[in-house]
Structure 1
Amino acid sequence: MPALTIIAGPNGAGKSSFSETLSLPDATIFDPDKSKAEIWHQYPDISDEAVEAELTRVYERLEQKVLTERLNFTIETNLRNAFLLDRAKYFKKRRYQVNLIFMMLPSISQSMDRVNLRIKRKGHFVDAESIKMNFEACIKQVKGFFPVITNLLLLDASITEHVIAEPRLVALYRNRQLVHNDQKTQPQWIYEQVAELFTEIKTGDETIRVWRPELP
């Protein structure tokens, strides 16, 4: 069974840096930031609205190819809206396994710091308001994926001495059940984000309560 893998996280979490490592070896990877940069390069005078429209067309063409050829597919996203939840449901109907990898950062300020670090390395700019909006939206959007996905991986992507380090696996859920979690005492922010993510998830009349570790 082919897989759709969604690598989600706030700006600066390292999605592009680690998408190949986190994807299946033969996966086709869609990086919207990279595609957007290519559109800007090809059409330097194009409006923002036209860029978004062209980006949607690029994605739709790639999605059709992936589905037709039954390819493994990875999408990088900050989950600022419900678009990919709709696509995940569609892929599942087409007999794809749907996996979500959530790269967590502790705060909006660290997301901004990571973007600034990326800019120094010739990466792309994101304004402060968008960073804040994306950080808050991402956590809210992840909640909706729980009934759709097979595997959910939570990764600690926080910064270490101003260096983008390889993300650390915090927990793995399979079919809504916790199958692995790091036994180390977690930073307070991880407990808080996990509690926010999953204590409110409901499927029909069932309330799903997963990995609620005791706070230190």
Structure 2
Amino acid sequence: MGALERGDDGRYRIGLRLWEVGSLAPRGLGLREVALPVMEDLYEVTHENVQLAVRQDLEVVFVERIAGRHAVPVLTRVGGRFALHATGVGLVLLAHAPAQERVLSAPLRRYTDVTVTDAGRLRRCLADVRRTGYAVSDRQVTMDALSVAAPIRAPEGVVAAISLVVAHDRADPVALVPLVRAAGRVLSRALG
């Protein structure tokens, strides 16, 4: 049926037919279509990784990504999932999530030595995200990356987040925050 394909390495991957069905999902498709031109602009200005994500229950789901050719490698992929508490987009989505207490009451996975796993500290971080309108995840997923993320709002609230992921050693969050927040505002206006 084409739902799965076997690669040269013998491993199975999603086939073209299953990909086609998945691409018809209205939630990701409309958002992706609206967001892609803004993401491309953000990429052209920075030549860094640009990511778009939504929350599904207690995880981040990446719905689009533009990878910078010489940018820091990232662990995310389109359709991939990640914990809410560690990534920039996850922090933005968690800060506005009704499920926040469920995440904070569960054990939080440590990805690096600086991943925030203390519920009290994370609660203060999320309050800062709501107050400032952006999140910075500095070396919380890998020791070489820093992410700056901003919310994307629709009439029903925060529906997605956009981020830049850059190499920690050349990151300047002060310069990146206005770019990412502006992208989030443009997309929020486009969504109504």
Q: Same fold (TM over 0.5)?
A: no
More strand by share: 2
Structure whose CA Rg is larger: 1
- Give the TM-score, by structure 2 length: 0.25
TM-score (norm 1): 0.24
Q: Which has the higher contact order (CA 8 A, sep 6+)?
A: 1
